[in-house]
Chains A and B, each alone.
Chain A
Amino acid sequence: MPERLRHLLSIEPLSAAQINFVLDEAKPFQEFQRYPLKKLATLRGKSVALAFFEASTRTRISFATAAARLGADTINLQAESSSLKKGESLLDTARTLDAMKPDCIVMRHSSSGACQFVAQHLDIPVINAGDGSHEHPTQALLDALTLRDRLGTLDKLRITILGDILHSRVARSNLHLLGKFGCCFTLCGPAMWLPREFETMGLPVRLTSRVDQALEGADAVIVLRVQEERLHEPALPLNEYILLYQLTPERLRRAKPGALVLHPGPMIRGLEIDPAVADGPQSCVLEQVTNGLAVRMALLFMLLGAGSEAEPGKGSKHVAD
C-alpha cells in the first residue's frame, strides 16, 4: 500500500502508486452513483468544511454532494459572505473555521500556494480544490479516471492540452499526473499563454501554437476554458482565439480516431469548443462530472474514514453498507 495521504495539496509530489490507489478507491464509488439510494453512513458524524475563497459552482457542489453521499455534514464558507471582505486574514479565517472542528477542509483560493499555506498552520487534512494557477488535483484525478476507463490505461498516452496553459491549474495538475504514467504532451495555445518553461520541467512536453500539428495523433484532447478576464491581459481578440484554437470537428479529425475530448468546465460553446464536438461521441464532459463525484468521495473516504486503513479495492465493502 502506498504512503498514506495526509492532505491533497498538489499532484506533483505524489507517486504513480498513490494515484492508482485513489483511482482504484474511486471505482466502487463510480458504481455507487448509479444506485437508486445514494446515501452511505460511512462518514456519519464527520464534517467537511468547504472554504471557497474564489467563486466556484461545480467543484463546490461536487464536494458537497460527495460529502453528503458519504453521510458527512458540510460547513460552508463562501467568499461573498466571508469575513475576508471585512479585512480578516486568510489565516485567521482558516483558524476560525478550524475552531468549528471540521474533520477536513476543502479549499479553493485565487492565490497559488494558499492551500499549502493553510495546511502548514492547521492539523486537519486540507484538500486543494484549486489554488490560483498552481494546481487542481481532484480535476486531474477525475480526468485520469475518465481516461483510464475509456482507454483502459494511462500508460504512454499522447495528450494534447489546448488553450490558456499559462494560467491553468488544470493543465499543471494533468501534466504532473499523466507525466507519472509516461504520457507525452503537446501544449497548444496562443504564444503568450504558452511559456517555454513548460519544456524545462522534466516532462516530455512539446509546445506549438499550431492547432493542426498539436492534435496530430492525440489519444485525448483536454480543452481548457478560456477565461474572459485573461483575454484583456494580453488583449487577444476573442475572434482570433476562435479562428485559431477552437476545437472543431474538422480539427479533431487530426487526432487518433475516437480520440477523447475532455473539458474541466464550465464550457463555453462556440468559444473554445464547437458545440458539435462538445456534444459528440468523443466528448467525455458529463462523464467527467460523474467521475468527479466518485474521486471526491474516494478522497474524503481515504482522508477521513476507515478507508485510511483499508487495502486497495476494499473500499467497496463500505459502499455496500
Chain B
Amino acid sequence: MLRIKNGRVMDPASGMDARRDIWLDGDRIVKVAPQGGGESERAAGESLDASGLIVAPGFVDLHCHLREPGIENSETIETGTRAAARGGFTAVCPMPNTRPVNDSASVTRGILERAAVVASTRVWPIGAASAGSRGESLAEIAAMQQAGIVAVSDDGKPIATARLMRQVMDYCRSLDLPVIDHCEDASLFAGNSMREGRQSVRLGLAGMPAATESIAVARDIQVAELTGCRFHVAHLSARTSLECVRAAKKRGLRVSCEVTPHHFTLTDEDVAYDTHFKMNPPLGSAEDRAALVEGLGDGTVDAIATDHAPHEPASKEVEFDRAPFGVTGFETALALALELVHSGKLPLMRMVELFTTGPARVLGRDRRIAEGQPADLTLFSTEHAWTFRAAESASKSRNTPFDGRAFRGAPMATIVAGRVVYRRNA
C-alpha cells in the first residue's frame, strides 16, 4: 500500500481540484480521501509526501518514436521510456516507423514483450495503416489490434491518396480504432527544410507553406466524414489546419488533434541553420503559434503530444537541408506547457487535461483519479526551478532545441501501475 499524501489533486475527468490523499494498492487506486482521513483504517504501508505538488492522472503521450526495433543507436524502448518517465509520462504511444515497420502482430508483440521487461512506462503501440507504411495496401490492422495497438498511422509517410485513406478509415471504423495522420501534401512538402516565410527566404532555405499541412487536414476530415471513422491529426502546426479541425468539431465529426510543445513554444524565426530546430512539420509563424496556444485553451486541441523523435548525434551534425527531421521532447514537455500556464495563457486544469484525459479520450480510454482506476499518477511542481541539460537526458539522443533552457516547474514523481518509476530530487 502506498499513500500519496498532502498533494493538490487535479482530476480533469471529475473536475476535482482539492487536497486529497490517495491510497494505492497493487496497480490500482483504492481510496481517495480528504487529508488526514482514513488514517486509522489504512495506517499501514509507505507514503509519498506530495506537499506543494500537483497530483494528476498519469500523463499520456500520443506521439513518440522509441526507435526499437531496428534503430537502437538513436533510442531504445528502455532509454526512451526512462526519458518519458522523467517527463512525467506514464504511457507513451510509439509510432510504427521502426525497422521493421510495426505493420504486423508479430512486430507489435515484440515491442510489447520487450516493453514488459525494460520499459519504465506503459507502451501503447500505434500500428502502421498500410503494409510497410508504403501507402499501397492495408496492413494487418485487426491482428495488430488483437496484439495490442491503440491506433493506426503511417506517421512520417503521409497517406498519399484519398482512396487509401478511405479504405483505412472504413476498415478502422469497423474495428473502432482511431486513425492518426501525419497530414502533408507530398508535392508541396518536396523534401524542403522549414516553413516558407520571411526566415526561409532570409536563410535561403527551401520552404514549404502552411498549406502543405492544411490541404491534407481538409482532405482527411472529409474522408472521416465520409466514413464515420475517428480521425486524429498528428502534430498540428498551422492556423489553417486548426481552423479545419475547429469547423469539423462544430459539425460534430469525430475529429481530434494534438500539438507539440515545440510548435506552441517556437516559431520559424528561431531557425538559424541549427539542425536541432529542424522537424516535420516545421516550426510555423508567430501567427500559427498564437493560434495553437488559443486552440490549446479553447478545446480545439485535444492533447499535447511530444513527437519525441530521437536521432543519434552524428546524423544531426550535418548541413541543415541534409539533416533528418525531429527533436526529442519527453523531458521538456511539461515544463514548456507550464510556461503557458505561468504566462496566463493556459489554465492549469486545462493543461493537465491536455496531458491526461484529452489524449486518453482520443484513444477511447478513460483517465481519472478514482477508486478502482489504474494507479498511474504524475506528481509535478509548478514552481521547481531547474535547467534542462541535453547531456544529462535519459534519452540516447541529444537533438533538442531546448538545451540550457531554464524552467519553472517540473515532473517530481511518476507512478505507473502503483510503482514509482521516477522520482526527482527536489
Of A62-70, A109-117, A249-257, A289-297, which binds chain B?
A109-117
Number of chain B interface residues as a range: 10 to 19
Q: A112, B205: Cβ atoms under 8 Å?
A: yes
Q: A111, B201: Cβ atoms under 8 Å?
A: no
A132 at the interface (CB under 8 A from B): yes
A195 at the interface (CB under 8 A from B): yes
* Chain B 290-328 interface 0/1 with A at a Cβ cutoff of 8 Å (1 = within): 000000000000000000000000100111111000000
* Chain A 11-31 interface 0/1 with B at a Cβ cutoff of 8 Å (1 = within): 000000000000000000000
Q: A113, B202: Cβ atoms under 8 Å?
A: no
A172 at the interface (CB under 8 A from B): yes
A90 at the interface (CB under 8 A from B): yes
Inter-chain contacts of A91 with B (CB < 8 A): 317-318
The closest CB in chain A to the CB of B200 belongs to A197
Q: Which of A117, A198, A201 contacts B273 (CB 8 A)?
A: A117
Q: With the chains together, A195 CA to B208 CA distance in Å?
A: 12
Q: Which of B198, B201, B202, B319 contacts A90 (CB 8 A)?
A: B319
B344 at the interface (CB under 8 A from A): no
The closest CB in chain A to the CB of B190 belongs to A233
* Chain B 162-204 interface 0/1 with A at a Cβ cutoff of 8 Å (1 = within): 0000000000000000000000000000000000111011111
Q: A112, B317: Cβ atoms under 8 Å?
A: no
Q: With the chains together, A111 CA to B198 CA distance in Å?
A: 18
Inter-chain contacts of A198 with B (CB < 8 A): 201
B37: shortest Cβ distance to chain A, in Å? 60
Q: A169, B204: Cβ atoms under 8 Å?
A: yes
* Chain A 263-284 interface 0/1 with B at a Cβ cutoff of 8 Å (1 = within): 0000000000000000000000
Q: B203, A113: Cβ atoms under 8 Å?
A: yes
Q: With the chains together, A195 CA to B198 CA distance in Å?
A: 9
Q: B197, A197: Cβ atoms under 8 Å?
A: yes
Q: Interface of chain A, helix or strand or loop or mixed?
A: mixed
Within residues 249 to 281 of chain B, which ones have a CB less than 8 A from any CB in chain A?
Answer: 272-273
The closest CB in chain B to the CB of A199 belongs to B198
Q: A197, B273: Cβ atoms under 8 Å?
A: no
Q: With the chains together, A111 CA to B194 CA distance in Å?
A: 13
* Chain B 122-155 interface 0/1 with A at a Cβ cutoff of 8 Å (1 = within): 0000000000000000000000000000000000
Q: A197, B198: Cβ atoms under 8 Å?
A: yes
Q: A112, B204: Cβ atoms under 8 Å?
A: yes
Q: Could you say which of A91, A113, A197, A200 has the most chain B C-beta atoms within 10 Å of its C-beta?
A: A113
* Chain A 198-217 interface 0/1 with B at a Cβ cutoff of 8 Å (1 = within): 10110000000000000000
Q: With the chains together, A172 CA to B199 CA distance in Å?
A: 13
Q: A134, B203: Cβ atoms under 8 Å?
A: yes
Q: A133, B205: Cβ atoms under 8 Å?
A: yes
Q: A200, B203: Cβ atoms under 8 Å?
A: no
Q: With the chains together, A135 CA to B319 CA distance in Å?
A: 15
Inter-chain contacts of A113 with B (CB < 8 A): 203-205, 272-273, 319-320
Q: Which of B198, B317, B320, B322 contacts A201 (CB 8 A)?
A: B198
Take A111-B320, A113-B320, A114-B319 as given contacts and tell me if A195 and B201 are in contact as well, using a CB distance cutoff of 8 Å: yes
Q: Which of A90, A112, A166, A167 contacts B203 (CB 8 A)?
A: A112
Inter-chain contacts of B314 with A (CB < 8 A): 89
Q: With the chains together, A32 CA to B140 CA distance in Å?
A: 75
Within residues 164 to 221 of chain A, which ones have a CB less than 8 A from any CB in chain B?
Answer: 166-167, 169, 172, 195, 197-198, 200-201
Inter-chain contacts of A167 with B (CB < 8 A): 204
Q: With the chains together, A133 CA to B272 CA distance in Å?
A: 14
A193: shortest Cβ distance to chain B, in Å? 11
A131 at the interface (CB under 8 A from B): yes
A6: shortest Cβ distance to chain B, in Å? 18
Q: A112, B321: Cβ atoms under 8 Å?
A: yes
Q: B319, A109: Cβ atoms under 8 Å?
A: yes
Inter-chain contacts of A197 with B (CB < 8 A): 197-198, 200-202
Known interface pairs A89-B318, A172-B202, A197-B200; 10 further A-B residue pairs with C-beta atoms within 8 A, sorted by A's residue number = A89-B314, A91-B317, A109-B319, A112-B320, A112-B321, A113-B320, A117-B318, A117-B320, A131-B204, A132-B205
